[in-house]
Every structure is written in C-alpha cells, then in structure tokens.
Structure 1
C-alpha cells in the first residue's frame, strides 16, 4: 500500500474540519438505510471513533502485527454487533464515495485505487478476526 498517497488523500478530504466520517455516515445511511438502526441517534461519537481508527491504520501501515491484532479484535467486536461480511463492501463503497466528493477536482484515480486496496485489506483483517472468533466458539 502506498502510505504517501493514503496520507496525502486523507489530509485532502478530512483536513481541519474532520468532515470525512460525518459525510461517510450520511452516504451510508442514504444508500443502506437498513443499517441505520445499528447506530445511536447521535452519530458524532461514532464518527469520531471511526476517524481515529482510520488515522491509526494509516499511521500503522508498516506495523503488520499492530494491524492484525487491532483490526482482528475490531472485527470480532463488530461481528458481535451484527456486522456481516457484505456490510464491509458497503462501508468501503460509501467511504470512497465520501472521499471522492470531499476531494473534488483534486481527487485522483490513484487515490481511489489506494483506498480501495487499503479498505479491502482492513476488511480482510477484520473478517479474519471475526472468523477466528467463530472458529474458537465451535
């Protein structure tokens, strides 16, 4: 993964306003209204946690052990909340849509490709954690 492109593009779309995750949730709930009941009425705390998680993942791209452990645990937690594998695709789709919208004319196909790869890797590690937890329960 290209950490420079991910960092640069995250600064472009999130910057000082921290607009990315609130816009992401707006798009997610517009496109996938069935997931709305999984969240509290006040989405601000969740948006803040997601933003912190995105920043942490980008910061730790060179630390495979941190990524695997942290994202695996997060995947187990999300599975316990009812998150299913297809929901990961919806999240990636809506996150990239928010990024493209907020990035405007400065957003590039290379940024989309880098985030598609990164979000796919995140989903894979989270799903692996959830699957490992399910395997242990059997």
Structure 2
C-alpha cells in the first residue's frame, strides 16, 4: 500500500530549492556550522582535504530527507544504519542526531529573508520525526 503524502514535503522541498538557488554549494555552510557547534567532529574529517567526503555525505543526507518526506522507500533504514556506522567512526548518536538540525539551520541561514514560517513548521515536525529513527537504530523495533 502506498504511503500517504507527507503534508510537509512541499515546504521542505521549497526550502531546499530556494537554498539551492541562493547558494551553489551548501557543503561549506553546513560543515562550518557543524564544526562550530560540534568542534570535536572536525578532527574526524582529517582525510577529507578536498571536501569531497563532506559533499557526498551532505548529498546522501539531503536525499534521505527528501525520501523521508516523500515516498519513504529507504530513508528510515538508512538513517538507522548510519547511526550504527557512524558510531564506528566515533560519532556518538547524540552528535549524529544534531546533523539534521544543522542542515535545517544552514538552509535557513542561506534563505535569509526568504525563509518562511511554513518552512520552519515543516522542518520542526520533520526533525522530530527523523529523530525517532536516530534514537531507535534497532530496525527490529521499527514499526512496519
């Protein structure tokens, strides 16, 4: 049975599209914010001299967010799996869980005065929903 459309999908998509129009590459904005808020994470990127790893990670996160508010074909299990994978990289789950909000805050920053209250509301609800999967990485416990 197809999943009912997420009422927040249009606002999440619109905010990301507007940010994309205003900023050619969100990667430095997101990671500057991340390292400012979580300075202990920067050392984990010591191999990423050309920032390609950061860009690839952000691309996967944005794709996961779009899938999460869209068809939800894979995002729930991807998020749960990545929590476990990132623990292996010494990224604690409580730090991992902040990344989605870091993305939202970066998108809001880039959008500036174009940021809309409905986007804020959509992101707030989506972040709460995403957080469940971050804090419950055991896929056996996930409702069908």
TM-score range, shorter chain: 0.7 to 0.9
Paired positions, count = 132
Distance 1:60 1:125 in 2: 11
Q: 1:128 to 1:77 in 2, by over 3 A?
A: same
Equivalent residue, structure 1, for 2:54: 46
Q: How large is the Cα RMSD of the aligned pairs? A: 2.6
Distance 2:135 2:89 in 1: 13
Moved more, 86-95 or 29-38: 86-95
Equivalent residue, structure 2, for 1:9: 15
Distance 1:57 1:90 in 2: 14
Secondary structure of the residue aligned to 2:69 is coil
Whether 1:116 aligns to 2:124 is yes
The 8 Å contact of residues 92 and 116 in structure 1, kept in 2 or not, is answered as no
- Structure 1 unaligned spans of 5+: 134-138
Whether 1:104 aligns to 2:104 is no
- Structure 2 unaligned spans of 5+: 1-5, 140-144
More helix by share: 1
Equivalent residue, structure 2, for 1:136: none
Equivalent residue, structure 1, for 2:28: 22
Equivalent residue, structure 2, for 1:72: 80
Whether 1:82 aligns to 2:82 is no
Structure 1 stretches of at least 4 aligned residues deviating more than 3 Å after TM superposition:
15-18, 62-65
What's the CA shift for 1:89? 4.9
User: Over residues 46-87 of structure 1, what are the superposed CA-to-partner deviations in whole Å (9 max), with x where a residue is unaligned?
Assistant: 223322331343145343452222222222212222222321
